[in-house]
Chains A and B, each alone.
Chain A
Amino acid sequence: MKRKIIAFVMLVVMAVSMLSGCGSAAKEEKKAESTVNESSAKTSNGEEVKKDDPITIKFWNGFTGPDGDQLVELVNRFNSENKYGITVDMDITASLDEELSSAFAAGEGPTLLLSSSAYRFTYGQYMQNISDIFDKTNLNKDDFIQSYIDYCSEDGNLYLVPFQIVSFYLYWNKDLFSAAGLDPEKGPATWDEYLEFAKKISDPSKNVYGSGLCYGYNYQMAHVIQRFGGLAVTKDGGSWKANLEGNSGYADFVNTYKKLVDDGDNPLTDDTDSMMTAGQLGMTINGPWLTGGMDTAGINYGITTIPTGAAGSMNSCEVLGFSITTAASDAEKLAAYRFIEWWNTTDANGNCAALEWSLTNGYPAYLKSLMDTDAYKGNAKVMSMTNTDTSAPSDFIVDASFPGINGIINDVLPQFIQPVLFDNADAAASLANVQKIADDITAQYN
């Protein structure tokens, strides 16, 4: 019996060692063939890399979809034109979270990560403090708009460098406006106007709806609802406080939405994008990526900021940024710095990756110097997306430094809105109900 056990254990050991043997051998072989130059970079691990030492850094992001194409192009351009011998090996993934959490758990990971600045709440311990990027490169801290830098900082330390500013806008279909006898050049400035226009545009016989609010689109809901009732979580005397129960603005929003649906002015659907692109929707609210689809479909549309509601003027946005993970060596970190520097620097020919990205995709600039360029000012799309009211707060749905933002967007708001929409629940009661969920979330950070 004992022998059996011993034999078994030996077999296990053998199998495991065989496997790991195969594994590492294959790994080395692969490394050797994929980047011939990497060995030289490795020997200098931990030290300042000499300018000419070639190095490959891993760059992960979740830019699936059409904008990923442009990212690939720009990264290729960097790889071919940088003088440091840096190769950025980019991996665009549809499951960034899964990839990151596995890799981080094993102490691996990319050098460079591109993600929402809210990732600093989830993966903060794997992000390096990169405050010294302004010393080690020619980037100028004062050129960055401060409120976006704030989004990327924690206790005065910088963890991300802004990459794009995502706001949501109101898009309207000019042809449908004309057909309804409205001025095609003027989008709604207030929510009253929005409701009035929606009513006029809706035409059941043509399957056309005036308003495109979408319960299944949590981010849209969040951007809109804060216009009605302000932020869902704010700081109150040093601790986080959820403002749901008794929030008449939020109740007003959901009742408005429900009335639009009941009156047939808003489709009851979890996907308004395809309707807008198909020309069946008068107005909708979404991020800049919607313009790509509408352009291809030949929709004649206008863009304006989301109408201001009872909660006052706001400029809610999400900041995406570059970060450097703890898996990166100093040499890799420096290489990543150089990539970020290149991204935000205008070269002798006047080309700048950040500017191109911003103009093509319609993201407002975060560099003051870019905002002043003629190319930027001359781009109607980006200009209509740039908020001129700089005094308006840029917090998105919660105070910008509240770590529980994902829970509020993905759990609290849907659980407030959907019971009212589908089960005719009372708005106030539903708010009282989700207040408990929100309190659990805030309690984690108090």
Chain B
Amino acid sequence: MERLKRISLKTASFILLTIIALLVIVPLAWMALSAFKEEKEILSFPPTFFTHSFTLKNFANTAKRIKIIKYIANSVIYAGVTTALAVVVNSMAGYAYARKKFKGKGIFFITTLATMMIPFQVIMVPTFLVVYKLGMYNTYWGLIIPRVAVPGSIFLMRAAFAGLPVELEDAARIDGLSEWGIFWRIMLPQVRSSAICLIILSINGSWNDLLWPMIVASDTSMRTLSNGLALFVGQNSIQYGASFAGALISIAPMFVLYIFGQKYFVEGMASSGLKG
């Protein structure tokens, strides 16, 4: 009886997961297949799901219109450096908020949270002016530095560190490690999976960021991939095929990264010291 119940529960959960997976995958598959359709077929009635008019024209168009390699290189610089700095800075802050008692903690944390509560469009011009006054207009630093500290990421790391047992720190302190050593050598490796989560989210955020690179870098040689792909969505007309092809090009590296990341989630688990 108990086993039967368990099996039916398992089936039910599998069905639920499959339905959600279908909800996710069907629209995306339609988009992916449409990237290989003639524009005419994408906008035909009745609409098609599978590709009847297979073509690579959309990809050729994308490659012709934008300097894909250059743009990807810029995106990689932007996303890569931002993320490298973000992991350190946000983990440090998250660690302090989770594990330490200090004066003004509440105020600092609330201030940190407050900065994510205002729509970017409203603080855009003042933020830009700050960047400009610091002489970072049109530089990679101008793109990167303001994007390093992210309240959401600090919060994420705070949540990760908060779940660790107290004994861990105490043992390290008795061993005579410095505060930095405790953080860097003992605590951070414990939350490796969350750190990988942060890395993926941070890369992803910069990768798809449209507005900030546009306003900070007026130099066309600094354009990122998302800026380039936005060119297919005209004010008056949309090039569907090219947009979808561009979306595929943009998703591919992120997806590979995610699959890699997922592998490390698992390893992060296996090697963590206090398990079992």
Contacts and interface: CB of A to CB of B under 8 A. Distances in A.
B136 A65 contact: no
B45 A27 contact: no
A278 B45 contact: yes
Interface residues of B, number: 42
Contact of A101 (B65, B125, B136, B227): B125
A24 B44 CA distance: 52
A26 interface: yes
B64 to A, nearest CB: 8
B145 interface: yes
A26 B218 contact: no
Contacts, number: 131
Contacts of A68: 231, 234
Contacts of B132: 106, 108
Given A19-B141, A26-B140, A67 B234 contact: yes
Contact of B125 (A34, A63, A102, A207): A102
Contact of B232 (A24, A64, A103, A287): A64
A138 B201 CA distance: 56
Interface in B128-157: 128-129, 132, 134-142, 145
Contact of B141 (A22, A103, A289, A290): A22
Contact of A58 (B141, B210, B218): B218
Contacts of A264: none
Interface string A13-47: 00010011011101100100010000000000000
Interface in B36-59: 39-40, 43-45
B40 A298 contact: yes
A94 B65 CA distance: 15
B239 interface: yes
Contacts of A22: 139, 141
A176 B129 CA distance: 55
B211 interface: yes
Contacts of A289: 234, 236-237
- Residue among B43, B129, B236 with max Cβ neighbours from chain A (10 Å): B236
B106 to A, nearest CB: 19
Interface of A: 16, 19-20, 22-24, 26-27, 30, 34, 58, 60, 62-69, 89-95, 98-99, 101-103, 105-106, 108, 110, 207, 273-275, 277-280, 287, 289-290, 292-293, 296-298
Interface of B: 39-40, 43-45, 65, 121, 124-125, 128-129, 132, 134-142, 145, 210-211, 214-215, 218-221, 223, 227, 230-239
